[in-house]
Amino acid sequence: MRSSFITWYPYCRRSDTIADALGGRSHLIHYLSFKRPMQAPLKYVLQTIRTLAVLVREKPEVVLVAVPPIFAALPVLLWARLRGGTRVVVDAHTGIFEHARWTWLMPLTRWVFRSADAVIVTGGHLADLVDSWGARTVVIGTVPVRFREGTAPADCDGARVVVVNTFSVDEPVGETLEAARMLHDSSFFVTGDVRHARREWIEGKPANLEYTGFVSEDEYAGLLRAADVVLVLTTHDHTMQRGGYEAMALDRPLVTSDWQLLRETFSRGTVHVQNDADAIAAGIVHALTEKTSLGREMQILRREHQTLFNSRLAELQQIAGLTEHADANGELAAARP
């Protein structure tokens, strides 16, 4: 069966990975600027037109769509209704449940989820919530990441701490800057488009911290491969950390926030910390001290999560009506028609 994955983002490794595992195509549909709410009305009109054009051209029998924005699901559901027989799977990112920008639209979100054939969520807590709305859920928190070799970054002073960051509302950037100031013998590299950063974060950064800006895939892969520690933080509970998966993919020690979901997901190779500067700094020191053993634990965790992903993907394929087979590496992939 033909499948397509629609995502109204300029980039999304999660969508790309799931689409590839299902044997389908990932379509990253995005116009105008990213994270500019004033542009949203025009942007959503353009992206709706483009989404319908993709569906008309490809005529998929299964359509996956990532939310937020919840509006991305509307043309997909319309297409499925008009065509008949098309199955719709919504991939619900945590922000749809947590961020004020989307929670006021919860009545629409509930209707969309009930209208879909399945809803992918990132953890059991969210599965319980969505199940209570009358929707069918599949939990896929872990999505395997594969990196190119990448471009090695320039040498730096001391240990290299890579902060996977997007300047989202749930990221404790100020506390991270203070932690970096305490650890002046290490070098910090903070990813993300600085156009979304507060002015005081740019002007008040410590000397041992560098903002990388939005980098290419090769630069990003090289930066993570060179990391002694990867730091990924969130102030919101039930929020999965893609940067944690990326650290796991490369067997890098991880420092992340001390939430139950993140403790369960990153149960090895990881130091869990509170989101204050002292705790963040102490966690980084611990991870650097135990770098070798944490790296070995990450190798074990990566294999465990690959097995879990294969199992959850098989469940999704059964719901969506997609056939499956194991590839030469034992990883689940969709059988292409």
pLDDT tens digits for range 161-179: 999 999 999 999 999 999 9
What's the topology of domain 3-140?
Rossmann fold (3.40.50)
List where CATH 3.40.50.2000 sits in the chain: 3-140, 160-298
Architecture of domain 160-298: 3-Layer(aba) Sandwich (3.40)
What pLDDT band is residue 148 in, cutting at 50, 70 and 90? confident
169 or 335, higher pLDDT: 169
Q: Which amino acid is residue 17, in one-letter code?
A: T
Beta-strand pair 270-273/324-326: unpaired
State the average pLDDT over residues 234-262: 94
Give Cα separations from 287 to 78, 191, 206, 270, 280 (angstroms): 49, 20, 21, 8, 11
pLDDT tens digits for range 183-216: 999 999 999 999 999 999 999 999 999 999 989 9
72 or 240, higher pLDDT: 72
Q: What is the pTM of this model?
A: 0.80
- Does the structure show a pLDDT above 80 at 337? no
Q: Which amino acid is residue 309, in one-letter code?
A: F
Q: Is the link from the previous residue into 144 a cis peptide, with omega within 30 of 0?
A: no
- Does the structure show a pLDDT above 90 at 76? yes
Average pLDDT value for the chain: 92
H/E stretch holding 277 reads helix 277-289
Instruction: Decide: residue 215, CB within 10 A, 0-12 exposed, 13-18 middle, 19+ buried.
Output: middle
pLDDT tens digits for range 281-326: 999 999 999 999 999 999 999 999 999 999 999 999 998 887 543 3
Q: Please give the Cα distance from 9 to 162 (Å, whole number).
A: 23
C-alpha of 175 from chain center:
22
Q: Is 334 helix (H, G, I), strand (E, B) or coil?
A: strand
pLDDT tens digits for range 40-75: 899 999 999 999 999 999 999 999 999 999 999 999
